Chain A
Amino acid sequence: MSILEISKLTVRFGGLTAVNSVSLDIPTNEIVSVIGPNGAGKTTLFNAVTGIHEPTSGTIRFDGRETRRPFRTSTALTLALVGLIAALSFILIVNIEPLWDATITSNYVYQQPFPWTKALSSAVGFFSGQTGGRLLLPFLIGGILGLAGALAIWFRNRYAPEVAARAGIARTFQNIRLFNQMSALDNVLLGMDSRLQTRFWHAALRLPLFWRERRDAEQRAMEILRFVRLDSEAHQLAENLAYGHQRRLEIARALAVQPRLLLLDEPAAGMNPAEARDLMNLIHEIRDRGITVLLIEHHMPVVMGISDRIAVLDHGEKIAEGTPAEVRSNVRVVEAYLGKDHEDAAAT
Chain B
Amino acid sequence: MTASLNIIGLTRDVYKGLPSTLCAGCGHNSITNHLIKALYEYGVQPHRLAKMSGIGCSSKTPAYFVERAHSFNSLHGRMPSAATGAKLANRDLLVLGISGDGDTASIGIGQFAHMIRRNVDCTYVVENNGCYGLTKGQFSATADVGSSAKNGKINEYETIDVCGLALELGATFVARSFSGDGKQLIPLLQAAFSHRGTAILDVISPCVTFNDHEGSTKSYAHVKEHGFALHAPDFIAGSKEIVVDYEPGTAQDVEFEDGSHVVLRKLDVEHDVTDRLGALRLLHETRDRGELLTGLLYVDTKATDLCAREHLSKIPLAELAESDLRIGREDWAQLMGAQ
Partners in one complex: no
Residues on B facing A (Cβ under 8 Å): none
Residues on A facing B (Cβ under 8 Å): none
